[in-house]
Structure 1
Amino acid sequence: MKILNVKTAKKNIRAVKVGKDVKIFDFVNLYECSIGDRTQIGAFVEIQKGAKIGKRCRIQSHTFICEGVTIEDEVFIGHGVIFINDKKPSVKKTLAKTWTLESILVKNGSTIGSGAVIMAGITVGRGAFVGAGAVVTKDVADRGTVVGVPARPHRG
C-alpha cells in the first residue's frame, strides 16, 4: 500500500484490509472495509465499515461509499459519486438503531460517472455505464447505459 501523506492518513485509516499495490491519496476516511489489489483511492474519499472494493478499481476524489456497498473488480467510480444505503433515513431511526441497511452491488467492469447518486438496494450490472449526474433508482442491466434524473436507459 502506498499512502501519499502518512501523517494525515494514519488517524483516518482504521482496520482496513488492503491488497497489494494499492494507492491511497490524502485526506481519506477509510474504516473497517476491504480494498483489493492495484486499486487507487482518490483524495477526500470516505469508505465505511463493511464496504468491499475489488481489484484494479479506481475511486476518484470526493466519493462517499457507505456500509453495505460491494464494488467488484475493474470498476471506475468518478468524482463525487454518492452511494445511499437507506431509502427512508430519519434521525429517530438512526438514534434508535432501527434503520434498514439496503446493500448496493456494482458488478465487474462498470463505470459510474462523476456526481452520480446510487440509491439503496441497487445493482449496477456487469460492464454497465452510469452517466455523470444520474440518480439511479432502479437496477442497471449488464452492459446497459443509464443517464438523467431519475436515471433511464439510453440508446445511442
Structure 2
Amino acid sequence: MNNTFFTHPLADVHTKNIGRESKIWQFSVVLPNAIIGDNCNICSHVFIENDVVIGNNVTIKNGVQLWDGLRVADNVFIGPNVTFTNDKFPRSKQYPEQFPKISIDKNSSIGAGATILPNIRIGEYAMVGAGAVVTKDVPPYAVMAGNPAKIIRYLDVSNDSYKE
C-alpha cells in the first residue's frame, strides 16, 4: 500500500495500511492495525477497529462502526448507520477470548440502519434491506428484509437483475 490516498484533516487515522485512491472523511477514526483496500470511500463519522480488513472499491457510509473480526470483501456497499455486533452476550468490562467473525462477501450491499449479529456471513451479491436484523447467514444473491431478516427473493443472475 502506498500514500496516494486522501484523509480529511479532521479524521483521526492511525493505520498506514490504506490503498491507492481511498478516501477517509472527517470525524472518522481508524485504528493502527486496520487494513483498507484501494479505491474505498470511508464517509464521515466511521470508526474502524484494529482487526478489520476492508477490500477494494468498498463504500462505507456515515455513522458505521466496524468492530474487531469484521472482513469486508471487494465492491461492498455498507449503508448509513449499519450496526455490526461482535459479542452476542456483552457485559461491561467482560470480553470474550476471541471476537466472532463477520464476513461480508464480494459485491454485496447492506441497507441503511441494518443490524448484523456476530458469526454471520453475507454471501456474494446478497442484499440486506434497510432496517433488517440479520440473525443468520445470508446466501449468495439473496435479498433479506425484516426483523428477524428473512429471504424475500433471490436476484436473477441470468438477466443481470443483480445490478438492480
| TM-score normalized with structure 2 length | 0.87
**Distance in structure 2 (CA, Å) of the matches to 1:111 and 1:124:** 9
The equivalent of 2:15 in structure 1 is: 15
Q: Matched residues, percent identical? A: 35
Alignment of 1:4-83 (within 5 A): 4=8, 6=9, 8-9=10-11, 12-31=12-31, 32-83=33-84
Unaligned segments of structure 2, at least 5 residues: 155-164
Tell me which residue corresponds to 1:139: 137
SS of the residue corresponding to residue 17 of structure 1 reads coil
1:97-116 correspondence runs (5 A): 98=96, 100-116=98-114
- Taking the aligned partners of 2:114 and 2:48, their CA distance within structure 1 comes to 16
Structure 2 counterpart of 1:15, which letter? T
Any gaps of 5 or more consecutive residues in structure 1? none
- In the alignment, the residues of structure 2 paired with residue 17 and residue 91 of structure 1 have an alpha-carbon distance, to the nearest angstrom, of 31
The match for 2:6 among 2, 12, 27 is 2
Q: Is the partner of 1:93 in helix, strand or coil?
A: coil
Pairwise CA RMSD: 1.3
Q: Is the 8 A contact 1:72 1:107 kept in 2?
A: yes
| TM-superposition CA deviations, 1:19-53 (whole Å, max 9, x none) | 00001110001112010000000000011111011
Q: Is the 8 A contact 1:51 1:70 kept in 2?
A: yes
TM-score relative to the length of structure 1: 0.91
